[in-house]
A and B are shown apart, each in its own frame.
Chain A
Amino acid sequence: MKNSLKYVVVFVLASLWFIGIKAVPASAQIGDIGFFGGISEGRRLPRTTEQLLVQSARSNRNSTTTLNYTELVFLGGRPVRFDGLIDITVNGGVTEGTTSGTFTANYRVYPGTGATGTVTINRTANFTVSYRVEGSQVIYNYDIVKTNWRETIQTPDATFTLVSRQSSYGISVIEDRTPGVNYYRGDLSGRLVYTGGNNGNTTVDQTGSFYGYDCAWSSTETHRMDVSIMTDDWGLQYQIRPSVTVNKVLQYTWNEPTAISFEGNYKEVTQNITGLKYDIMIRPNFMWDEPLNGTANLTSVNTFEQLPAPDLTFLKGNAAEDDIRKLFAMQVLTGETQYYQPTQAITRGQFMTALAKAIKLPIEDTTAATGRTTTRRQPVTAYLFTDVDSTRPEYPYIMAIRNAGIAYGRDDGMFYFDYPIERQEAFVAMVRALGLTQLGLNPTPATAFADDAKVAAWAKREVAVAQSLGLIAPDAGGNIYPTRNITKGEAAALLNSLIEYMRNNLVSDYAEQIVNIIR
């Protein structure tokens, strides 16, 4: 009886649409500090609870966000600081299933009520954004709507008014969506002509590029913009590098009372890092007394959230205790803790499920529609690993892992779900989750490890990348033991290092290393 039931289920699944799934196209937070050389608090990462509520249904933004905004105005020949607000209104976004389309992104910069500064900016810059999708990549072209492009800047020196007729502004962005991280790079170039300077028009040429990414643990955008300001009398050239970052860090607190049912727990603190740096290359002589470089920053208040306190008393003293505790707190591991014995092997199914949760891979909802999840459910794919029963709770994660291209199962069409995972399989999956396979040579003939001969041909490229990213390191003998299995304790450490990479190393690469270096 049970047998026939099982086949009914399989049959029903098989008869649903035969469909592959792409990463959910959350329109990245491109341009949330504007494109004008200023900074806003920008960026936000949803709290875990919010994520659970909304599941993967991150819809297109369709509302106005108002953020604190700071910009340095150089029009008078020296930097003066404006503090005000920016309204960002994005109507629409990349519509799933389309290969091209348009939406609008409107920016408004203004002092806001109660502003006291000596500098005011009133700017309206609306863009029509046309996009096209090419596989995992999306190209966005921002075209400014000239008819309502307005800008008035008051400084202690003068009041400048944009002549939109003579001005132009263009932005083009390429975004690459990988399973765990959406990476993007944009270039912008514009010429802004102002009247109101002391002598004739002031022409501002700005050209630059920006880099950003968006992942579950951090998100960053950093601009590098070269600006030259020309008047009839003098010229100014500077490079300005604004950056906005948000990331989530964990903090553990022990409880003070003794008689409390849990000893302590983690908090997840979301912190913004927002600032800019500028370097003046050429300046008007009358500014000889001004510093040639400087910074400006916006302080913001961290938000935070309590994370659950799993009962890990059975692990006290184990080397992996903290790693496991963190993963349970972050809901990367779920369920009853005592089933996660650090000395036991972790199976492919268990590791991949945890990995999918660690990178917050959107999964298909196989459950009945409830609450807010109804809006965007995708049908269950018919691609089945015969050894992954669709009734298993891990099933949607394995399908998501497979559809994201992180792991494909083995040649005979099975996933070997309940088999122990090999170290190299885990390394490869981690690099693919980051979408960084391309950093490795294709093909990679050899890796730098002493036991390179044991690394399977299909794994060499990603293993080399993992080594170069610092995700893995060999033992004292230079070995990484690619074919050995992994204990649950080691798996927890690996997954934590991946999350650490997404939380901190990416930030350094995209923020610090761009802002601090003049090119």
Chain B
Amino acid sequence: MKKTLTFIVVLTLLFAHAAYAKTDGYIYSDPVANTYAGRAEASQLISNLRFTDMPADISSQDAIVRSGVLNMIKGYEPQYRPNAAVTKEEALAFVLRTVGLENAAQASGVALQATLPADSPLLTVWSVGYMRQARTMGLITAAQYTEAVTPDPSTLDPAVSFVRTAPATREELAGWLAGALQYVQPNIFSTTATQQSIYGYSDWKNIAADKINAVENLSRNHIMTDSGTGSFRPKASVTRLETALILRNMDRLHYDFVGLEKKTGVVAGLRDEQYSETSSGQLWGMIYVRTSNGTVDVLQNSRNASSSPQDGAADAVTLRNGTVAGLASLQEGDQIEYLVEPSTGTVWYVLVTGGLSNQTLRGRLQIINLTDGTITITDENEKPYTFPMAQGLYGTETDGSGYLMAANQKRPTATLPLGSLYDVTLVNNIVTSVTYVGEPELIPETRGIVTENNPDMGYITILDGNGREITKNYNTGSLRVQKTEYYDMRDTLGSIHSLFPDFYYNPRETDMRAIEPGDIVSFRTDPADSGRVISISASTNYTTRYGRIREFRTNGDVSTMLMQFENGGTAWFTVAGGIMISKGGRPVPTAEVQPGDWARLLVNQAVVAPGQMLESVKEITLEGDGHYISTIVKGKLVGFNPIQNKINLQDAQRLTESGWSGYRQIEQFDIAGQNIEYYYDGQPVTLSYVKTYLSHTDASVYLALENNYAGEKIRMVTFRSSRDELLKADTVLTADGNGGFNLLSNAEAIATDAGTIVRRNGRLVDGRQIIAPDYAVVSLNGLNTAAVVDITPAPATAGVMIARGRIYSVDQGRSFKVQSMSLFGGQSWSYTPIQREFSIDNNTLFMTAAGLTAIDEFIDYTDASVMDKVYNIVIDGGRAARVIDSPYVTQAVRGTIYAIDGNTVSLKDVYTYNTRNGRWSLISNRNATGTVTVPSHAVLVDRNQVVGTNALKVGQQIKVMTDTLPENITSGLSVTGYIILVER
């Protein structure tokens, strides 16, 4: 229980204070260079140094407290008695202490005392060691020493003798101090060529000749001066305050002798931390100081958590606004001078010298010196200023390159533009932030995203970078508008046009009607009327979305489209007329978009107001057959290979135009893809369900395989528990738009469900996309429920025009004429005695039984002349797509393909056509098979297209046109097919 409580206390304290660290953002994050703890004796010192007769001026106060802290001059509690005179022995002791010879003096005294008899009165003289040391150092003469150590000084005449208890004069002190300093450091004062300082004193002539140098040296170094009075008063007695001031003036000179260090800085953060190792717990006050060279020092004082924070075990004397207290009296922003003892890591004394100064300067950046941690800027007069930077503001990367922090981001110093304007924020002359300003702005522009544009009313509303709504007017006629469309290359001439307006064409030039919500614009306003836009530059701001088109309905010029994205989410889009739709790299009409297509949309996601988004389609790119269902398989599930993402099917058969075929006893399919749908009797199930309950079911499983570039992958798996029944390919008579439909030859209504595989022109769709008069192969499973509906274009061959004509003339490489021709009518030819011309080009195929010939060989001269020869011509409008040298075909054979081997196609159920009686007859009741040889120049027609000779598939019913039939038609009939029509 107790522990929890303590924990809460820590947190509270830690963060309550931290919130104030506003002046220096890096104070807690910069590395701490030094930590100095308070001293145990501080609390006693603090109470001792609270004198009642403290002078009013700060420097005197500081001198007194400081000398107290340094243990130089003690007070007479509760008084200090600043004006009391200092005796000679006190003055000598003071001098020796200031130069760090206190210990030597003490030792000298002890050494002397050891030689003295036990009753020697000298044993009671406290200063005897100091005198002895002073004599050793030559500060006093041997004679003076003898007088000084007289046990009872009152027996001596102060006028002629060296009376140790008599007041010391100022020049005496000067002589001793200068002498002591030179003793410990012979070259401490540079040789004085001219004596100048003392001439400022009106009474300089009163200074004893042997003290002149000493006074000069101390005076010049501001250690001992006239205190602004104009006279040195060499013979006057030294006061206690004066000695304290001398010590203060000695400053670093003294600190060096005693191993102290004076530092300056700013209190930039205060934090308390608590440790509870014992039941009492210890609270540490942490004072974060930004030192004058940019580093961070921490001063810490300990307090007992349970007692008043004012007193504590370790602290430092702190003088703040005339009050002597502990470190806890420091406040953030205090400029401080502090004495520390590096050898012990302790802080002795802190003087608050002033408050926080905070200013921002604008100047041109000249130098960033990472070694020294300084930054140099110049003002408008090119006067340089160099400031130290807070440590967290800069640093060095692993590769040695430097960076500055700006807005919490690292900015490589090498890339900072030198000579540009920056705002430099100084907190007590330490740079805490550097902000790039750049050069003066010449033409102000406003930037934002358009939420509304009304060219008719002539106003535009944008949201600027801060989310503010800005509305401006414009005059459509006198406005300059430029816009970068999404398809524009980024190398259009752009602003060059502003400089050279006569340039003949600017692709970005447009008018305000081209600006739409969601665009990013940057505009300039009329200098005379800031509410009116005079020029505007815009760019689109589109994003892409990718998914499957679930529904696509066109109504007049506008289409609506339901998209399903990869994450399963759906969204309706309106597709305006004129939107670019492309497929295979070419623009296609809207009618080309079919449900089940996958597409990449270019979408304008316009945030028209905070929290309100308008999405509009800008471009549709239809995918090729990458997501088409290439294969539909039926079989029985026999198992999974989970690690390889495979599913094994037994008795696998593929759906062909004539039903299930291509039996394989066991076959493996890939379920690696994402978003595979699993169904059981029309209900969606998970893969885990399938693995657990359907792995070895007797149910039929139907797979829809996607034509993935990396191999066929399963897209949909549907289990059905009934028997499969395949219906003949037929035309859809009616469809209810909700998945139900009727076939022409089948009275029963057929239902579809979510698990029905519906393939419409290769694309996976749902049952609602079945419409009359689709031509479909349906496989039922369950009572009038379709497991598979495969919709393809109805077989038809009438769309392909084949003619046979006699060449009349050839315009080489361009066209040829036939003097008459017959048109192929599906089985017979109809003659038209009309001359006709067909153009030819490099894509026209000139075919013979031997292969292709070149267009250059189709000529009407030389031995190779084609004049009067007869050709079959596949007509493509006014153009000849193929010119084929093949026989005149009048005999017809019909059959269903059961095997294909190279260019030999085996047919079953073979009928031949009797041209005489116009009847088809089965060639054999027992074995009505035959073979068709397909030469390379045969014309194959399937679904109104001329297809390749290898496009025939098992299961197709074809009609074969050939030139002759044998007299006796029997099983094993063999013909050559010159024109082959796929009938179903």
Q: Which of A141-149, A285-293, A420-428 sits within the interface? A: A285-293
Beyond A10-B32, A513-B600, whether A470 also contacts B624 by CB under 8 A is: no
- With beta carbons under 8 angstroms apart, the residue of B282, B399, B585 that contacts A98 is B399
Bound-complex Cα distance A512 to B706 (A): 12
A470 and B642 form a contact (CB under 8 A): no
Interface centre among B397, B400, B605 (most CB of A within 10 A): B397
Q: Which of B21-29, B125-133, B914-922 sits within the interface? A: B21-29
**B947-964 Cβ-contact flags toward A at 8 Å (1 or 0):** 011100000000000000
> Which residues on the A side are within 8 Å of B843 (C-beta)?
285
> Which residues on the B side are within 8 Å of A275 (C-beta)?
708-711
Give the residues from 65 to 92 in chain B that come closer than 8 angstroms, CB to CB, to chain A.
none
**B391-421 Cβ-contact flags toward A at 8 Å (1 or 0):** 0100111111001000011101000000000
Closest to B469 in A: A445
**A226-246 Cβ-contact flags toward B at 8 Å (1 or 0):** 000000000000010101000
Give the residues from 1 to 48 in chain B that come closer than 8 angstroms, CB to CB, to chain A.
14, 18-19, 21-22, 25-33, 35
> Which residues on the B side are within 8 Å of A99 (C-beta)?
399
A504 and B674 form a contact (CB under 8 A): yes
Beyond A14-B32, A241-B709, whether A304 also contacts B448 by CB under 8 A is: no
- With beta carbons under 8 angstroms apart, the residue of A13, A289, A519 that contacts B936 is A289
- With beta carbons under 8 angstroms apart, the residue of B27, B627, B643 that contacts A267 is B643
Beyond A22-B397, A518-B585, whether A445 also contacts B842 by CB under 8 A is: no
B710 and A273 form a contact (CB under 8 A): yes
B464 and A386 form a contact (CB under 8 A): no
> Which residues on the A side are within 8 Å of B707 (C-beta)?
295
Interface centre among A20, A301, A451 (most CB of B within 10 A): A20
- Whether a CB of chain A sits under 8 angstroms from the CB of B607 is yes
B396 and A19 form a contact (CB under 8 A): yes
Closest to A512 in B: B626
Give the residues from 525 to 553 in chain B that come closer than 8 angstroms, CB to CB, to chain A.
541, 543, 546
- With beta carbons under 8 angstroms apart, the residue of A20, A241, A509 that contacts B395 is A20
> Which residues on the B side are within 8 Å of A3 (C-beta)?
273, 275, 282, 284
B764 to chain A, nearest CB (A): 14
B612 and A448 form a contact (CB under 8 A): yes
Q: Which of B562-570, B697-705, B969-977 sits within the interface? A: B562-570
Give the residues from 1 to 33 in chain A that come closer than 8 angstroms, CB to CB, to chain B.
1-3, 7, 10-11, 13-15, 17-22
A66 to chain B, nearest CB (A): 21
A97 and B398 form a contact (CB under 8 A): yes
A411 to chain B, nearest CB (A): 6
> Which residues on the B side are within 8 Å of A359 (C-beta)?
none
Closest to B710 in A: A275
**A348-385 Cβ-contact flags toward B at 8 Å (1 or 0):** 00000000000000000000000000000010001111
- Whether a CB of chain B sits under 8 angstroms from the CB of A46 is no
B711 and A297 form a contact (CB under 8 A): yes
- Whether a CB of chain B sits under 8 angstroms from the CB of A53 is no
- Whether a CB of chain B sits under 8 angstroms from the CB of A52 is no
> Which residues on the A side are within 8 Å of B851 (C-beta)?
286
Bound-complex Cα distance A58 to B936 (A): 57
Bound-complex Cα distance A468 to B541 (A): 12
> Which residues on the A side are within 8 Å of B408 (C-beta)?
408
Bound-complex Cα distance A446 to B468 (A): 9
A457 and B466 form a contact (CB under 8 A): yes
- Report the interface size class on chain A: 35 or more
Bound-complex Cα distance A273 to B623 (A): 19
- Whether a CB of chain A sits under 8 angstroms from the CB of B467 is yes
- Whether a CB of chain A sits under 8 angstroms from the CB of B852 is yes
B982 to chain A, nearest CB (A): 16
- Whether a CB of chain B sits under 8 angstroms from the CB of A96 is yes
A58 to chain B, nearest CB (A): 16
B21 and A412 form a contact (CB under 8 A): yes
A21 and B398 form a contact (CB under 8 A): yes
- Whether a CB of chain A sits under 8 angstroms from the CB of B613 is yes
A302 and B949 form a contact (CB under 8 A): no
Closest to A411 in B: B25
- Whether a CB of chain B sits under 8 angstroms from the CB of A335 is no
Interface centre among B403, B566, B610 (most CB of A within 10 A): B610
- Whether a CB of chain B sits under 8 angstroms from the CB of A277 is yes
> Which residues on the B side are within 8 Å of A158 (C-beta)?
none
A295 and B709 form a contact (CB under 8 A): yes
A445 and B448 form a contact (CB under 8 A): yes
B277 and A1 form a contact (CB under 8 A): yes
- With beta carbons under 8 angstroms apart, the residue of A10, A277, A297, A509 that contacts B546 is A509
B709 and A285 form a contact (CB under 8 A): no
> Which residues on the A side are within 8 Å of B772 (C-beta)?
none
> Which residues on the A side are within 8 Å of B277 (C-beta)?
1-2
**A491-519 Cβ-contact flags toward B at 8 Å (1 or 0):** 00000000000001100110011011111
B641 to chain A, nearest CB (A): 10
- Whether a CB of chain A sits under 8 angstroms from the CB of B520 is yes
- Whether a CB of chain B sits under 8 angstroms from the CB of A166 is no
A13 and B605 form a contact (CB under 8 A): no
- With beta carbons under 8 angstroms apart, the residue of B467, B605, B674, B948 that contacts A468 is B605
> Which residues on the A side are within 8 Å of B672 (C-beta)?
271, 273
Closest to A379 in B: B398
- Whether a CB of chain B sits under 8 angstroms from the CB of A328 is no
B643 and A277 form a contact (CB under 8 A): no
Bound-complex Cα distance A14 to B948 (A): 77
Bound-complex Cα distance A378 to B271 (A): 32
Beyond A20-B397, A243-B710, whether A505 also contacts B566 by CB under 8 A is: yes
Bound-complex Cα distance A113 to B129 (A): 102
A384 and B31 form a contact (CB under 8 A): yes
- With beta carbons under 8 angstroms apart, the residue of B29, B520, B711, B936 that contacts A386 is B29
- With beta carbons under 8 angstroms apart, the residue of A20, A251, A409, A453 that contacts B642 is A251
- Whether a CB of chain A sits under 8 angstroms from the CB of B621 is yes
Bound-complex Cα distance A513 to B277 (A): 63
**A264-280 Cβ-contact flags toward B at 8 Å (1 or 0):** 00010101011111010
> Which residues on the B side are within 8 Å of A274 (C-beta)?
710
Bound-complex Cα distance A470 to B566 (A): 10
Bound-complex Cα distance A509 to B464 (A): 31
Bound-complex Cα distance A210 to B3 (A): 61
A451 and B627 form a contact (CB under 8 A): no
- Whether a CB of chain A sits under 8 angstroms from the CB of B645 is yes
> Which residues on the B side are within 8 Å of A443 (C-beta)?
465-466
> Which residues on the B side are within 8 Å of A273 (C-beta)?
672, 710
A208 to chain B, nearest CB (A): 14
B29 and A277 form a contact (CB under 8 A): no
A18 and B396 form a contact (CB under 8 A): yes
Bound-complex Cα distance A513 to B601 (A): 11
Bound-complex Cα distance A412 to B288 (A): 13
Beyond A19-B396, A20-B395, A515-B709, whether A279 also contacts B29 by CB under 8 A is: no
- Whether a CB of chain B sits under 8 angstroms from the CB of A478 is yes
B25 and A301 form a contact (CB under 8 A): no
- With beta carbons under 8 angstroms apart, the residue of A289, A304, A457 that contacts B467 is A457
Closest to A1 in B: B277
B607 and A447 form a contact (CB under 8 A): yes
**B258-289 Cβ-contact flags toward A at 8 Å (1 or 0):** 00000000000001010101000010100000
Bound-complex Cα distance A96 to B398 (A): 9
- Whether a CB of chain A sits under 8 angstroms from the CB of B584 is yes
- Whether a CB of chain B sits under 8 angstroms from the CB of A441 is yes
Bound-complex Cα distance A457 to B466 (A): 7
- With beta carbons under 8 angstroms apart, the residue of A11, A243, A304, A515 that contacts B32 is A11
11 A-B pairs in the complex with CB atoms less than 8 angstroms apart:
A7-B32, A17-B396, A239-B585, A241-B709, A285-B843, A286-B851, A302-B644, A385-B29, A446-B467, A517-B621, A517-B624
Smallest CB-CB A-B distances: 5 pairs: A516-B626, A14-B31, A275-B710, A413-B29, A448-B613
Chain A residues within CB distance 8 Å of chain B:
1-3, 7, 10-11, 13-15, 17-22, 96-99, 135, 239, 241, 243, 251, 253, 267, 269, 271, 273-277, 279, 285-286, 288-291, 293, 295, 297, 299, 301-302, 304, 378, 382-387, 405, 408-409, 411-414, 439, 441, 443, 445-453, 457, 460, 464, 468, 470, 473, 478, 504-505, 508-509, 512-513, 515-519
